[in-house]
Amino acid sequence: MHPIVSIGTSHHVAPIEFRERLAFSEAQLTQAVQHLREAHQVQEAVILSTCNRVEVYAVANSMRSNDAIAKMLVEFLSCYHRISPESLKKWTYLYHNLEAIQHLFRVTTSLDAMVVGESQILGQVKAAYDASREAGGARTILNRLFTKAFSVGKRIRSETTIATGAVSISYAAVELAKKIFNTLEGKTVAIVGAGEMSELTAKHLVSNGVSNVIVANRTYERAVQVAEKFNGTPLAYDSTLNFLMDADIVISSTNAPDYLIRRQPLADLMRKRRHRYMFLIDIAVPRDIEPDINKIDHAFLYNIDDLEAVVTANLKDRQQEAARAEQIVTIEAKRFYDQLQIFQVNPTIKALHQQFREIADSELQACRDKAALTDQQAVAVTSMTQAIIKKLLHNPMKNLRYAVNDGNADHAQYVQALQELFALDVKDEDPKP
């Protein structure tokens, strides 16, 4: 069997300084894949490079030992990025065969991600696979492997809830807003202050349907700068809170020492608004919004602790679902590994059968020419010859398949011996979708 090997690093094992040095730019991917195949005699390769991980998946020659393959991949990364082999060994991990398959499935399904259940990694793996395939790096085996990885990712997202529930403060705010308003389409959000978190939250709200953005700040020029990012409306902050007249959602994040949004002015404003719902998010420390505002009808106030409680609960739910997903990955990886081994043995079995049939056909033709066999006799001799071939090959082929199914490490040597002893012309099968 051609070994599948993965070498890489991620946020789990290496600091960002090392990951930056090991990263491949989009422009480098094609060249790197081609270099790996040509200079290091790797048959297939896919390189995945994101902000959190850099990984190389390779299919090597079946005659190479695991140690030789590992050394070859370390040399490739060391030469390409001019990083010492010692640093690579310190900050990278190495997986072979079943472990490499299972690791890819965990990566693709986001079980190995910084935030379990995030969906971005699936698109990143698909992009890496497409780039490597265009460069000639992904062929028979890696085509099958990555296609299966995407299928497992889809299965986990359909059979578990690992990707549901907000697991960041900004997404928790979006989740709560949806519960209050049912839909965010056409709603208006007001940002009080110009903090990074409030901007991020507003960005997520806009991507979920909020159509209008108001930015209020004591420094009007700063309000203009932030409003431009959302094609929004800048307004000057005033204690009467009139700038919130049209706001459905309010996000406040400033460094003010005291409350900027107080109960009485907001109660007056709510009456003018005829008590239209208002959702207020206070992510400032110290708080910007007076807690008693929650006593105003149709005003819903959440502070950063409330949002963190939502995130914690959702993370707990995701961890429970992750355990189910891990079981699926383990089963699917073992099943794929077994199928792949049989898949790689089949060309040898077919080539051996083909060789025996060709020899038999040739000898039968010579026999018919010499012995002047009748058609009935020729059919009988052909049938007998085919039965002999079937019986001769039955036990060797049965035992070879048993060796593969039982995980016998010697089966690769059996295949190699058959290919060499019978001088077989083995052609790899085309991958199936």
d(CA 381, CA 188): 87
- Kindly report whether the peptide bond that precedes residue 291 is cis, defined as omega within 30 degrees of 0: no
Catalytic status, residue 51: yes
With a CB cutoff of 8 Å and minimum separation 6, the contacts of 56 are: 6, 7, 8, 36, 45, 46, 47, 48, 73, 76, 77
Token pair for 175: 């989740």
What is the Rg, in whole angstroms, of the alpha carbon atoms belonging to the chain? 32
Residue 7 parent element (H or E): strand 4-10
DSSP summary character for residue 289: B
Torsion of CA 105, 161, 155, 324, to 10 degrees: 60
d(CA 101, CA 97): 6
Q: Scan for tokens 């907001």, then name that residue.
A: 266
- Which one from 26, 38, 41, 51 is the annotated catalytic residue? 51
Residue 308's Cβ-side half-sphere holds a number of Cα atoms within 13 Å equal to 5
Residue type, 261: I
d(CA 245, CA 174): 21
d(CA 352, CA 205): 63
d(CA 299, CA 276): 9
| Residues involved in catalysis | 51
